[in-house]
């Protein structure tokens, strides 16, 4: 898969809803219920971070949910890429971007949303052909004003800012011309997931799905 094709596919995914839930799930038995709740609320694109031992099983379970489009986040190594693809991930997300990760995703036909924090990183990925990138960690790197400033000289790149994004500041990002959507964990609070309170999560997702952009 070429970087251009990966960016086209990720652009399509980012435009499906204003928010991509960033999910850290400890128990694969909760995966299907969580995915159904988020999809029912209008958030079909789901990022499962590879931060727990259960993550790959969570991806496998969520991949069976009708209407869900499941990807793997926190890709750090080529093995992560291979495991995510084998588990059913349809896209990948990385906190940064190395040649090893980029090569692995391209070789495994896994569309990557690569992370950047600076204009230089955005330019290097643009040179390679990636026009859709993840701005991370968004709030720690100056928030929406920083992303707006990066967009002025590099309008060819569109972003999904993630990291410290919440319902309170999501609109600050979504109002920017270089933001396609945001990534956030607030739509699936850990306590609600552990309690299996799917109705409450559906309500949070529905609220997020109506954010203007």
Residues designated as active site: 47, 134
Tokens of 143: 């928030």
Distances (CA, A) of 73 to 5, 25, 52, 112, 200: 19, 12, 11, 10, 24
Distance in angstroms (rounded) separating the CA atoms of residues 152 and 101? 28
User: Which letter does DSSP use for residue 213 in this model?
Assistant: -
71 is written with which tokens? Answer: 């990807």
Q: Are the CB atoms for 124 and 118 separated by under 8 Å?
A: no
């Amino acid at each position: 898969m070429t970087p251009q094709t990966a960016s086209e596919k990720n652009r399509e995914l980012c435009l499906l809803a204003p928010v991509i839930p960033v999910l850290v799930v400890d128990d694969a038995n909760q995966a299907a219920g969580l995915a159904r709740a988020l999809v029912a609320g209008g958030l079909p694109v789901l990022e499962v971070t590879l931060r727990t031992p259960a993550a790959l099983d969570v991806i496998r379970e969520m991949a069976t949910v009708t209407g869900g489009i499941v990807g793997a986040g926190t890709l750090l190594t080529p093995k992560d890429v291979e495991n995510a693809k084998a588990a059913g991930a349809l896209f990948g997300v990385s906190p940064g971007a190395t040649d090893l990760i980029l090569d692995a995703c391209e070789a495994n036909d896994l569309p990557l949303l690569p992370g950047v924090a600076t204009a230089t990183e955005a330019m290097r990925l643009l040179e390679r052909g990636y026009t859709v990138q993840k701005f991370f960690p968004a709030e720690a790197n100056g928030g929406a004003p920083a992303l707006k400033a990066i967009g002025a000289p590099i309008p060819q790149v569109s972003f999904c800012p993630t990291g410290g994004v919440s319902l309170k500041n999501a609109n600050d990002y979504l109002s920017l011309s270089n933001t396609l959507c945001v990534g956030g964990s607030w739509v699936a609070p850990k306590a609600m997931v552990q309690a299996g309170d799917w109705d409450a999560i559906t309500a949070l997702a529905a609220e997020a799905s109506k954010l203007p952009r």
